[in-house]
Amino acid sequence: MNSTASSRVKRFTYMIKLLLCTAIVLAGAVPLSLSASAQPLPDLVFFGENPNTSHWGVEVQKENDLLPFDASVAFNGHPAHRVTNVSGGWWGIGMTLQWTTRDISGYIPYGALEFELKGSRGGELLQFSLSDGRSPAAETGSVPAEASASWNHVTIPLAQFPQIGSFPASAWNTLLITKVNGEDLNTLWLSDMKFTSRYITGYEPLILTAPQGTVPAMPSVVTAVYSDSTTTEVPVTWSGVPDGSAAGAFTVQGHVAGVSVQPTAEVTVGTEADQGTGSEEPQPAQETPPAVETPSLETVPSSGQQEHVVFEGVRTDQYFGSGGSLKLETDLVSTSSLPVDSTVEGTYNGQPSYKIAVTKLADPNWGYWNGVLAADGWTSYSLEAFREGTLEFYVKGAAGGEDFVIGIMDTNDVKSVLSLSGLAQTVTTDWSLIRIPLSRFTEQAPDLDLSIIDKVVLENASTQGEMSVWLNRIKFTQNPAAELEIASVDPVKAVTVAGLPPELPQEVPVTYENGTTGTANVSWEAGDGYRVRGRYTVRGTILQDTGPVPVTAEVTVVRALSDEPHVIFLDKKKAQWASAEGHFSLGMEQALDDQGMPVTNEQGNPVMTLPIDPQVTFGGLPAYRLQVTRIPGPNWGYWGTGLTMDNWNPVDLEALYERGSLDFMIKGLAGGESFSVVLTDRAGALGTVKLSDVAAVTTGWRQVSIPLKRLVPVSSAHRLKESTAVTLTSDTGTGAAPLTVWLSDMRLASEASREVVRFGTKLTVPASQLPQLPELPATAEAVYNDGTAEQVPVAWDAVTFSSWGYPNPVQGTAQGIDLPATLQFTVEGSRSSGSSGSGSGSGSAGMPEEPEAPIAAPVVPAASSLYPNGAAGTYTLPALKPAVDPADALLAVVNVQPGALKEGYKAAAPGPGQRPVMHIKVPYMSGVTGYAVELPAGTVSGAYPDAELSVTTDLGRVVLPADLLNPDQLNGAAAIRLVIRRSDTADMKKTVREQVGGRTVLDIHLEADGVILPWESREKRVLVSPDYAPTDEELEHPERLVILYLGEDGEAEPVPSGRYDRTGGRMIFSAGHFSRYAVAWGSRTFGDLAGYGWAQEAVELLASRGIVQGTGPTEFAPGRGVTRAEFVSLLVRTLDLAGLPAEADFRDVDPSSPHYQAIAAAARLGIAGGIGGGLFAPDAPVSRQDVIVLTERALERAGRLHAGAADSLPSGVFRDAEDLAGYAVPAVSALYGAGLIEGAGGLLRPEAEMSRAEAAVLLNRIYPY
């Protein structure tokens, strides 16, 4: 929830406090009695068939001070609550259970808020949070929900509410429902709202077969899997059941009432011979390796077709419209887009569909609808490889028999379209697949260029008027008639604990005979086993028309249950604690005892624990989720969680010290996560180890085995007799966040496993050796969790050079080790010491002489385009004669009369997009040091809307907006003076005086009645252009001329926008406050730029302007990575985009951060957004492709780059263009098309981290010198 909305919710929460207090006194606090049995808790129903709610509402329509029930809009036969905003602004409602306080602790682990939701137009956004109804501090974060134009069931797991762990669940009172910031509300309806203690997360797989000619017998119930891992049979109805007339595999959609997740059944219709008699007994396998105990898996033959998906459940770029007598329903938020229908009716195979709904008006007697879907994000896509293939899609009609036109278009706007009726294709009321050979399109339009296709075209057919159809899985496929054989299958690896079956994938990556890749469904052999530690091979089968393909999986059993001297946890029943302070937030929930009751400490405060995540399991059991986020707060933070061994009773581990270990399974969200692991007794810590020193965390399950001798020093080994807990905590006072890992199966083992933690091989390559790349060693140093290291054989991937002066990574495969081997080589020495040209080493590409993807200097507008010069839109007032100020003999004054200004405002005659400029030219006067232009006060306080005032003197030019001041800032003055005066640096510090020397210093300010008017603004800017004649030496390097703001403390600050304009022959800069400004020579340098000659000038120039900062007085750290916050700040300063004051609506961006305003400005301008969940991740590294995306957006906002500057990226520009993420392609194309990125067959390295040196080069090239 943004800060404004949050404060308003809290304000209205306080408004009902008196009502709540009165109600609670009358009704009493009613804690809910929790059952210790395995049965689900009863639903807490707000309203439905029998309303059980009391509520309040603010800025919403009410009847008798309550939300109205709408009898005209019913759900399941009973009226629904109607919510209508009456003001068009913020609104909020609070739902309670008769104002009583309830204990919902038992509902949080596996329960949900469930309700039915419908919007008047669809797409309405609202958000929910939980409150105790008294204190704003006792309120969870918010979770959003979106309405559709028809009833849909919404399920919000209670564990997903932010800060649910710190929320007083035992004292819940109010469900808060508010608008999402920036979203308008028309009307929506709510029904059947309740808290449930569990909710359906899925269904057991249902696979049916039927002989051809027989309608499959569909079951009346399906087995639902709930969030607490229990199962129950629930009633189901089916739609789209095949009639049995055709053989094949079908997905049949089921419907279970009152839930969000819906089942499907995989039905195979075949000949009677295909079905078999069912009398054969299965024959025993020749080999009996340990097998996997898995549910039945889908065995539909793998297609093996290469495809290009245009749409499958996720909205794509598009443009649609209609006219005349035909009206096409479009999305209410994006009115040029088709609506996405996520209702049961509009869902295919679990994915929402595009809906084409057309209504016919009475007149005129003509009408149309049409539109296009982007084939690849508005960039062209080559279908040459698909020339023998098809355009295919799934379609379903409301009535059946609907007709429309579909086709493709290339970037030359050559299109080919065909109607379904002309293709003899029929739309039915069930989902059906339509395939159109691409040859039909090329036959109709021979000029159609398949190499540059960028749109799928949809239009009305001439014979079709009103209709409703749904489309899904729109894609191009290659040669669908002939299935490709699978050439190879990627290896499958899994880890499990003895006695528990491994979790093997239902789909595996495969490579087809033509070299293309994809995935295929696999069925694994069933059975039991895995009771002995070791490695096993499991066999599986992929079924395809050309025959079965064998698959194997390597399963590692890490520990037998019977071997363990002490298990810390396998599930949630172990006592533990969790807490976070400072700038950390730790996902927590209140602990429950064996009877399911909340646990409190001696002070009566709730004991918090890590939550169990039912969506992430290991060995069939849900895992603990450890989730740490960074929130605004102090510059220190701590988080920790303790997992007890025996409910705080001491456990003797001394016998395990020599050979034993602390073992657990871990899985990371991103990989590479780390924290501290601590073993404790009642007196404190026995020992600590950093996880990254003993384990490598990846995105898959891995075993961590920490030898006790590594964890506990010898001096503390005697204390192992009374070990009590394992604590996980932040590494340092600042720690790393965000961090998300899952933990399972923690235990003390009698013998430590020896695991590779990392590879430590590093090479240094002298620049003189280039362009020959290094010969890599046949082995690499593997570092193990016990602290030892040894050389292991490695097969290296190709060597690729990417960066001078800091490590270049190379990956490889070490025999028998599942962790990828890594090596780093660093090129040292200056670039000039290496020879130019290209070469190869170890089978790799040659070494480029320049850093890859240099940024070309942009075309800079001349000063004449920035300042008035008599062009259209500018009016120069008649000449004014200056006079010496009677009170100041060194100041010349000109008086501008109101009539002259009014005439100038009228006569300016600005063209489209221009502002009227009133230009005042003050003649030169000898013997003075400055000029004052006396103006009517309204000139700078809004008397001339949208105008600018330009004043030129022999000292320079000043351009200011005519609404610079608010009228109340004038203190009643009738006239003001703009003063431009020469000054000096006599009162400045010596270093400043030396940097300025004898160059121009100007004092610029406004005054009224002899008093200086203070002015400072982020929104409004004043353009200043001091006259300055550089020396011949300075003209050789005019980019080193800078502008300094001279402070009253004698210090100086560089002005980032200050530069020398070669066209106008003067300095220019924009200012957000009046003061003294000086022209100076930029001479900032650093002592650690050796080896970075290619970046040194850029670093020094930007540092002289205050755009980049050093990490110390003489250090820049050029090889260090740039974070998201740092680069956004650099970008905003480089292009002077600070603008309006703003608030950064991100929970992890501290308002005291030096990057706060820049992030807020970038978010307001649409340059940078968050990562979701109200987070920005300011400390996360930024990749090179993300830097390009941010730069493209910033240049567009600055008016330096037009949107859509280039449609596509020419082939061969970058050798690794295929590594670009889809969202980055348009930005790379735009910058390349605008000449800002140059390519010479080099590397872009889109996913690599951007270094500070590289960022400086990029920013220096886009800086408007």
Pick 301 or 823 by higher pLDDT.
Answer: 823
pLDDT for the residue 1045 = 93
What is the mean pLDDT of the segment spanning 620-643?
78
Q: Which of 1141, 1263, 1135 is nearest to 1197 (CA)?
A: 1135
Q: pLDDT-based confidence at 831, cuts 50/70/90?
A: very low
pLDDT for the residue 124 = 80
Query: For 89, phi and psi rounded to 5 degrees?
Result: -110, -145
pLDDT for the residue 1202 = 64
Tokens found for residue 792? 């292991």
- What distance in Å separates the CA atoms of residue 303 and residue 486, rounded to the nearest whole number? 10
Mean pLDDT is highest, among 204-208, 768-772, 908-912, for 204-208
pLDDT for the residue 535 = 65
Tokens found for residue 794? 């490695």
Q: pLDDT-based confidence at 462, cuts 50/70/90?
A: confident
Check residue 781 and give left, alpha or beta (phi > 0: left; psi -120 to 50: alpha). Answer: beta
Chain centroid to CA 1114: 36
The sign of the torsion formed by the CA atoms of 1182, 1188, 1193, 1197 equals: positive
Q: pLDDT-based confidence at 96, cuts 50/70/90?
A: confident
Tokens found for residue 820? 């990828």
Q: pLDDT-based confidence at 861, cuts 50/70/90?
A: very low
pLDDT in tens, 35-58: 233 467 888 888 765 555 667 777
Q: Which of 1046, 1105, 1050 is nearest to 1073 (CA)?
A: 1046
- Percentage of the residues of the chain whose pLDDT score is greater than 90: 9
The sign of the torsion formed by the CA atoms of 426, 429, 432, 434 equals: positive
Report the mean per-residue pLDDT for the chain.
77
pLDDT in tens, 1058-1108: 988 766 667 899 888 899 999 998 888 888 888 788 888 889 999 989 899
Tokens found for residue 513? 């005979």
Q: pLDDT-based confidence at 241, cuts 50/70/90?
A: confident
Chain centroid to CA 642: 31
Q: Which of 998, 1058, 992, 997 is nearest to 1025 (CA)?
A: 1058
Does the pTM exceed 0.75? no
pLDDT for the residue 518 = 74
Pick 404 or 856 by higher pLDDT.
Answer: 404
pLDDT in tens, 261-297: 888 888 888 754 344 333 333 333 333 333 333 222 2
pLDDT for the residue 292 = 32
Spell out the alpha helix ranges (H) of 719-843: none
pLDDT for the residue 19 = 30
What is the mean pLDDT of the segment spanning 938-954?
86
561 pLDDT more than 70:
no
pLDDT in tens, 214-237: 888 889 889 888 888 788 888 998
Integer Rg of the chain from CA: 35
Query: For 1193, phi and psi rounded to 5 degrees?
Result: -65, -40
Q: Which one-letter amino acid corresponds to residue 368? A: Y
What is the mean pLDDT of the segment spanning 1110-1120?
87
- What distance in Å separates the CA atoms of residue 175 and residue 196, rounded to the nearest whole number? 14
Q: How far is CA 1185 from CA 713, 1081, 1168, in A?
A: 46, 34, 13
- What distance in Å separates the CA atoms of residue 267 and residue 349, rounded to the nearest whole number? 13
DSSP string, 1020-1069: --EEEEEB----HHHHHSGGGEEEEEE-TTS-EEE-TT-EEETTTTEEEE
pLDDT for the residue 276 = 38
pLDDT for the residue 296 = 26
pLDDT for the residue 1046 = 92
pLDDT for the residue 1226 = 87
Tokens found for residue 274? 């295909």
Pick 263 or 558 by higher pLDDT.
Answer: 263
Q: pLDDT-based confidence at 570, cuts 50/70/90?
A: low
650 pLDDT more than 90:
no
Range with the poorest average pLDDT among 32-41, 160-169, 749-758? 32-41
Cα pseudo-dihedral 959, 963, 968, 971, rounded to 10? 30
What stretch of H or E contains 1002? strand 1001-1008
What is the mean pLDDT of the segment spanning 1241-1254?
82
Pick 633 or 685 by higher pLDDT.
Answer: 685
992 pLDDT more than 50:
yes
pLDDT for the residue 418 = 92
Tally the C-alpha atoms within 13 A of residue 994's C-alpha that lie toward its C-beta.
Answer: 4
- What distance in Å separates the CA atoms of residue 993 and residue 302, rounded to the nearest whole number? 77
What is the mean pLDDT of the segment spanning 888-903?
88
1173 pLDDT more than 80:
no
301 pLDDT more than 60:
no
Assess contact for 841 and 775: CB atoms under 8 A. yes
pLDDT for the residue 470 = 92
Domains of the chain: 3-198 (2.60.120.430), 203-275 (2.60.40), 307-477 (2.60.120.430), 486-557 (2.60.40), 564-730+745-753 (2.60.120.430), 758-833 (no CATH), 863-1081 (no CATH), 1097-1262 (no CATH)
Number of C-beta neighbours around residue 862 at 10 A: 12
Assess contact for 1252 and 1116: CB atoms under 8 A. yes
